[in-house]
Amino acid sequence: MVRAFIALELSLEIQERLRAAQENLRNSSARLTFVDPALIHITLKFLGDVAENDLPRLCDTLNGISFRPFPVTAGTVMLNNPKRPHTVWCSIIDGGSVKNLFRQVEDVLAPLGFERETRGFTPHATLARVKVPDPTLFNAIRSMEKTTYGDCLIGGMKLKKSTLTPRGPVYKDLLEAVW
């Protein structure tokens, strides 16, 4: 079995700017687990455990999705839920393209046995997970509310293998579907 997900990768410039946002978050007293800036991406769909013999059919299906490259802006840093924060993320501004692609992925993967997402889909890039919140976290986020982190063109999606280790996840590209 392979733990897998489908991702849209952000530019190195955006990842570096988000590293600076993470440094600002480190000034808070909240207990946070940070995502390695080189691994920051937009998760289009988490697939969970996939049998290795199902990977070729999955790759063929993803390669069959027709889409045009589209621009995205890494927007503001915010909490997924200010009342019960679990995730610090960067909003993604894209004119609806990521949601449209998400729907296509859902539509082509459902016949392969992948369950549709029941929660609403919000394009974002995770910066940190909140282990223990603290009021200083809200101050750090407020200090960044007028900052955006750059633009890039999304020209494809990747199927990634995720191996969890004590030092964090290790990702390996299994497929790059380029449009």
Q: Kindly write down the DSSP assignment for every residue of 33-96, as one continuous string.
A: EEPPGGG-EEEEEEEEEE-GGGHHHHHHHHHT-----EEEEEEEEEES-SSS--EEEEEEE-TT
pLDDT, tens only, 4-44: 999 999 999 999 999 999 999 999 999 999 999 999 999 99
| pLDDT above 90 for 168 | no
Residue 35 in contact with residue 169, Cβ under 8 Å? no
CA dist., res. 149 & res. 77, Å (int): 9
Amino acid of residue 26: R
From the number of C-beta atoms within 10 Å of its C-beta (0-12, 13-18, 19+), residue 137 rates as buried
Please report how the helices 55-63 and 97-109 are oriented relative to each other, as an axis angle in degrees rounded to 10.
140
pTM score: 0.94
Which element (helix H / strand E) includes 109?
A: helix 97-109
Find the helix or strand (DSSP H, E) in which 5 lies.
strand 2-9
Mean residue pLDDT across the chain: 96
Q: Would you state the structure tokens that stand for residue 61, as one six-digit string?
A: 């299906």
Q: How far apart are CA 162 and CA 5, in angstroms?
A: 8
Residue 87 pLDDT > 90? yes
Question: pLDDT at residue 173 above 90?
Answer: yes
Q: Tell me the pLDDT tens digit for each residue of 65-78.
A: 999 999 999 999 99
Domains of the chain: 2-178 (3.90.1140.10)
Q: What mean pLDDT is predicted for residues 48-77?
A: 96
Mean predicted confidence (pLDDT) in 134-158? 96
